[in-house]
C-alpha cells in the first residue's frame, strides 16, 4: 500500500512539474493549400483523427494537400484522403520536424512537439503543439541579439512566458491558442541556443502576477535612457507594476544616446498644426523642450499641451526622453534611450545580469510589486492540461 501511494505521489508531482503545451498555428498568414513535413529526429505516429495509420522515422517526408473538401496524405507509395484532422504525434522525447508550405520559396522551419493539420475555410491550417518552455526559448532566441549571461535569458524567459499566457487562447474561436505572426509573436523556428534553452527550463512555468494572482503585461523596450516611463505616459492607463524607475544601468547600452537637428521654423509649424496655436506668437527659444532629472509627459505652452509620446511617434524619434537647444535657427535634439521607455529596459537588464544580478531581481527592479509564481498554482494550468488531453491521441 505504501509503495502504491508513493508511486501515485511521484506521478502527481511529475505531472505538476511538467511544462504545459500550447498550440500555435504556423504559416497562419500564408493560408497555404498544403504542407510538407520531414522528420528531423525521433519517431512520429500519424493519426487519421485518432486512428493510427502510419509511422514516420528520421528523414521520412510526407505531404498533406487540400483537394476539394479533403486532405490528401502522401508518404512514399502510400496515399489516402480524409475529411478529418491529421495528427502527427511524436512517439519519443526529443523529437522535431521540418515543415514548409506548398509553393514556398522560403527555407523550411524546424519545430519541436507535434502537429495537427486540418481543413480551414479555403486553406489548410497547421497547428504546432509545443512544450511551453520550448516555445518560450524560441521566442527569446528570436528577439535576443548577441551573447548574454544565463540570468538575462532567465529574465527574458519569465517575461515572454507571462506575455504568452496573457495572450493565451487569443485564437480560441479558431481552435488554437496563438499564431506565428505579429498578431501574437513571430515564431519561425525552434531554439538552438543551449544557454537560452536551459534558461527557459530553469524557469519552467514561472510567470509574473500581482498580489491578486492576475497575470501582468510585461512590456519592454530597448533602452530607457536613464529613466523608465510610467504606463500612462504612453498607453493612457496607469498600471501599478509599470511605474517610473531611475535606471543607472541604461548608459552602458548601445542605444543610450541619439542626436537630431531640425529647423526651428519647421518645429514651430509642427506645433501649430498639432493644435498648439499659441506657438505662432512665441519666440523659437520659448518652444524648446527640456528634460533633465525626470521624464515629462507633456509639453505645455500657455494652456495648450501635446504629449511627448505623440511627438516621438510623429517625428520617428527613438524615444520621448530628449532635450532641445537653439542655435542660429536650428534646434539640436539630444535624446536618450530607444523605445517607449515603459517596463523593462532590455539593454539595462543585460548589463545588470553581467554585474551579477539574478533574474528575479532584474524583473523586480523594472516591474513594481510583482510576484513570480508557478503557473501550476493558477486556474489557467488546468485549462491548458484539459486542452492537450482533448487533442492529443493517447
**Among candidate residues 130, 153, 182, the one where a domain is terminated:** 130
Our CA dihedral for 56, 59, 64, 65, rounded to 10 degrees, sits at -160
Residue 228: per-residue pLDDT: 97
Residue 174, burial from CB neighbour count under 10 angstroms (0-12, 13-18, 19+): middle
Give a yes or no: residue 217 inside a domain.
no
Residue with cell 493558477: 378
Beta strands in 273-321 (DSSP E): 298-301, 304-307
Give a yes or no: residue 172 inside a domain.
no
Whole-number Å distance between alpha carbons of 394 and 114: 13
Q: How far is CA 129 from CA 24, 26, 382, 384, in A?
A: 7, 10, 16, 11
Residue 297, burial from CB neighbour count under 10 angstroms (0-12, 13-18, 19+): middle
Closest CA to 330 of 257, 260, 258: 260
Strand order, beta sheet including 330-336: 257-263, 330-336, 322-327
Residue with cell 511605474: 243
At a CB cut-off of 8 Å and minimum separation 6, what does 69 contact? 83, 119
At a CB cut-off of 8 Å and minimum separation 6, what does 234 contact? 309, 320, 340, 341, 342
Give a yes or no: residue 198 inside a domain.
no
The pTM (predicted TM-score) of the whole model is 0.90
Domain enclosing residue 26, as ranges: 21-130
Apex 176 CA angle, 219 and 53, nearest 5: 140
Give a yes or no: residue 116 inside a domain.
yes
Find the DSSP H helices in 66-149.
132-143
Give a yes or no: residue 377 inside a domain.
no
Residue 2: per-residue pLDDT: 57
- Beta bridge partners, 178, equal 24
For the chain, the domain total comes to 2
Whole-number Å distance between alpha carbons of 229 and 58: 51
Positive or negative torsion for Cα 80, 86, 91, 94: positive
Give me Rg for the CA atoms of the chain. Answer: 26
Checking DSSP bridges between strand 61-67 and strand 34-41, what pairing results, if any? antiparallel
Give a yes or no: residue 383 inside a domain.
no
DSSP 100-143: EETT--SPPEEEESEEEEEEETTEEEEEEEEEHHHHHHHHHHHH
Query: Three cell numbers at 53?
Result: 495509420
Residue 43: per-residue pLDDT: 97
Contact 209, 216 (CB under 8 A): yes
Q: Look at residue 161 and give its three-state secondary structure.
A: helix
Whole-number Å distance between alpha carbons of 204 and 216: 17
Residue 107, burial from CB neighbour count under 10 angstroms (0-12, 13-18, 19+): exposed
Give a yes or no: residue 299 inside a domain.
yes
Q: Print pLDDT tens along the chain (394 aa).
A: 455 445 444 434 444 444 589 999 999 999 999 999 999 999 999 999 999 999 999 999 999 999 999 999 999 999 999 999 999 999 998 999 999 999 999 999 999 999 999 999 899 999 999 999 999 999 999 998 878 999 999 999 999 999 999 999 899 999 999 999 998 999 999 999 999 999 999 999 999 999 999 999 999 999 999 999 999 999 999 999 999 999 999 999 999 999 999 999 999 999 999 999 999 999 999 999 999 888 999 999 999 999 999 999 999 999 999 999 999 999 999 999 999 999 999 999 999 999 999 999 999 999 999 999 999 888 887 788 787 778 888 6
Give a yes or no: residue 158 inside a domain.
no
Residue with cell 521520412: 60
Residue 11: per-residue pLDDT: 39
Q: Look at residue 306 and give its three-state secondary structure.
A: strand
Residue 149: per-residue pLDDT: 94
CATH number at residue 100: 2.60.200
Amino acid at each position: 500500500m505504501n509503495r502504491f501511494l508513493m508511486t501515485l505521489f511521484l506521478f502527481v508531482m511529475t505531472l505538476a512539474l511538467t511544462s504545459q503545451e500550447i498550440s500555435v498555428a504556423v504559416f497562419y498568414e500564408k493560408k497555404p493549400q498544403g504542407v510538407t513535413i520531414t522528420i528531423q529526429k525521433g519517431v512520429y505516429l500519424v493519426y487519421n483523427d485518432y486512428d493510427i495509420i502510419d509511422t514516420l522515422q528520421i528523414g521520412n517526408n510526407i505531404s498533406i494537400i487540400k483537394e476539394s473538401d479533403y486532405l490528401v496524405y502522401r508518404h512514399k507509395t502510400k496515399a489516402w484522403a480524409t475529411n478529418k484532422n491529421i495528427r502527427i504525434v511524436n512517439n519519443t522525447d526529443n523529437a522535431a520536424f521540418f515543415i514548409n508550405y506548398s509553393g514556398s520559396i522560403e527555407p523550411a522551419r524546424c519545430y519541436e512537439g507535434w502537429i495537427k493539420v486540418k481543413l480551414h475555410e479555403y486553406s489548410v491550417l497547421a497547428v504546432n503543439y509545443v512544450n511551453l518552455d520550448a516555445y518560450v526559448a524560441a521566442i527569446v532566441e528570436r528577439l535576443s541579439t548577441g551573447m548574454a549571461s544565463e540570468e538575462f535569458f532567465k529574465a527574458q524567459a519569465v517575461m515572454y512566458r507571462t506575455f504568452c499566457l496573457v495572450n493565451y487562447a487569443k485564437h480560441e474561436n479558431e481552435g488554437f491558442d496563438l499564431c506565428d505572426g505579429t498578431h501574437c509573436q513571430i515564431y519561425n523556428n525552434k531554439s538552438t541556443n543551449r544557454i537560452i534553452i536551459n534558461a527557459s527550463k530553469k524557469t519552467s512555468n514561472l510567470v509574473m502576477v500581482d498580489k491578486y494572482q492576475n497575470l501582468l503585461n510585461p512590456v519592454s523596450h530597448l533602452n530607457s535612457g536613464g529613466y523608465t516611463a510610467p504606463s500612462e505616459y504612453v498607453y493612457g492607463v496607469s498600471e501599478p507594476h509599470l511605474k517610473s524607475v531611475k535606471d543607472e544601468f541604461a548608459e552602458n547600452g548601445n542605444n543610450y544616446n541619439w542626436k537630431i537637428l531640425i529647423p526651428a521654423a519647421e518645429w514651430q509649424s509642427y506645433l501649430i498644426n498639432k493644435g498648439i496655436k499659441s506657438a505662432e506668437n512665441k519666440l523659437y527659444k520659448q518652444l524648446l523642450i527640456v528634460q533633465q532629472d525626470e521624464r515629462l509627459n507633456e509639453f505645455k505652452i500657455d494652456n495648450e499641451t501635446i504629449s511627448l509620446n505623440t511627438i516621438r511617434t510623429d517625428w520617428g524619434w527613438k524615444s520621448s526622453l530628449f532635450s532641445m537647444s537653439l542655435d542660429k535657427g536650428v534646434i539640436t535634439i539630444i535624446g536618450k534611450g530607444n523605445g517607449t521607455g515603459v517596463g523593462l529596459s532590455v539593454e539595462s537588464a543585460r548589463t545588470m545580469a553581467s554585474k551579477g544580478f539574478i533574474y528575479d531581481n532584474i524583473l523586480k527592479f523594472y516591474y513594481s510589486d510583482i510576484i513570480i509564481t508557478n503557473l501550476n498554482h493558477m486556474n489557467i494550468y488546468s485549462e491548458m492540461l484539459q486542452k492537450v488531453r482533448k487533442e492529443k491521441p493517447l
